[in-house]
Amino acid sequence: ETGVTQTPRHLVMGMTNKKSLKCEQHLGHNAMYWYKQSAKKPLELMFVYNFKEQTENNSVPSRFSPECPNSSHLFLHLHTLQPEDSALYLCASSQEWESSYEQYFGPGTRLTVT
């Protein structure tokens, strides 16, 4: 595998379910990001991890819980979501945080909350 991978690619869950999204990067990068992409809206940065430490949490509701066990893996744990949380969730990585290096994105998880 190369680049940034995400699983699952599609997820349908009820509001009472608990699920997790997984991201893995094979680029040797030190920074990883979670974004939310809703139709016709700008990408919203959710969380940033740098060397496994969370550095940014952009006022994300607690029903989204990130986890970064090492520099290559990033998870987003989901519980008691709302229908408005339906969106494409993108993971990205970059060489360093707080730098102008470009970000490399995974293909995303299309989440539908019913």
User: Which chain residues interact with another protein by CB under 8 A?
Assistant: 4, 40-43, 45, 56, 90, 97-100, 102-108
CB-nearer residue toward another protein: 41 or 83: 41
CB of residue 15 to another protein, shortest distance in Å:
25
CB of 74 to another protein, least distance (A): 15
Return the number of the residue (56 or 67) whose C-beta is nearest another protein: 56
Distance CA 54, CA 31 (A): 10
What's the min distance (Å) between Cβ of 16 and another protein? 28
State in angstroms the smallest separation of the CB of 47 from another protein.
Answer: 12
- Say if CB 30 and CB 51 are below 8 A apart: yes
Closest CA to 85 of 48, 45, 35, 36: 36
101: tokens are: 């290096």
C-alpha 38/C-alpha 85 separation (Å) is 9
Classify residue 24 by its DSSP letter. Answer: E
Would you say 64 or 109 has its CB closer to another protein? 109
Query: In sequence order, what are the beta bridge partners of 70?
Result: 73
